[in-house]
Amino acid sequence: MASLRATGSITAPTSHPHFRWARYIRATLIVDIQKRRYLLRNNAIEIFFADHRSYLFDLPKGTRKKILAVLSKAVTNGVKVENSNLSPSELLKKSGYTGKWQRREISNFEYLMILNTFAGRTYNDLTQCPVFPWVLKDFVSPTLDLNSPESYRYLSKPIGAINKERLRSFWRERTSWTTQSSLPSCTALTIPP
């Protein structure tokens, strides 16, 4: 079992399968700690480091809150270990990242990664990998002109309705389903002529 002490380091026996990657973690290198879901259970944490590495820990049931409490004492370099029951949207509002993005202090990619992180998405769990909007529509030109508005899709429509052909295909598929009771309501979309 890992030993978490409020001494500025987190030690772990290297024989334990979850901690083979390190003998100890320098708490000064930790930049963020987030609660995570793993295998549909709220029992994991992800630790982010200054060198852009992160590790996801699947913890035994009922131990996450205790481990976060110990980590909040061990991590003393200004990182706030969030051990509350705030929702992801409340944590995002509290973080100030949206304002930084609006002031162009962080890039679109950085902001999308932050949104994915607050939504519980991570590269460390294939069932919760980050998602990004589909913004390009020109996949046939030999050279993509990023300055041309024709290279980008209209974000006001869902991906299934970006053109008449895709919308017709969507409606054909939808009407072929046999159980209408389990379908989401699509009354806002109309079938094109």
71-80 confidence digits (pLDDT tens): 887 777 777 7
Write down the pLDDT at residue 88.
83
Q: Is position 192 within any domain?
A: no
pLDDT of residue 52: 84
Mean pLDDT of the residues in the chain: 77
Q: What digits encode the pLDDT tens for the residues 38-59?
A: 888 888 999 888 888 888 888 8
169 and 102, same structural domain? no
Q: What is the mean pLDDT of residues 97-116?
A: 94
What pLDDT sits at residue 160? 76
Give the pLDDT mean for 82-88.
74
Asked whether residue 190 is domain-assigned, the answer is no
Better-predicted residue by pLDDT, 183 or 24? 24
Question: For residue 186, what pLDDT is reported?
Answer: 44
Q: What is the pLDDT of residues 180-193, one digit of tens each?
A: 555 554 444 444 44
* Domain-located, residue 30: yes
Show the tokens assigned to 100: 């930084």
Within-domain flag for 180 = no
pLDDT at 5 over 60: no
| pLDDT score of 109 | 93
Same domain as 56, residue 6: yes
> What is the structure's pLDDT at 105?
97
Residue 58 lies in a domain: yes
CATH, residue 49:
2.30.29
Give me the domain span that covers residue 120.
Answer: 91-132
Are 157 and 125 within one domain? no
76 and 102 assigned to the same domain: no
User: Are 113 and 166 within one domain?
Assistant: no
**pLDDT digits 0-9 by tens, 128-173:** 889 998 888 888 889 999 999 989 888 888 877 777 888 888 888 8
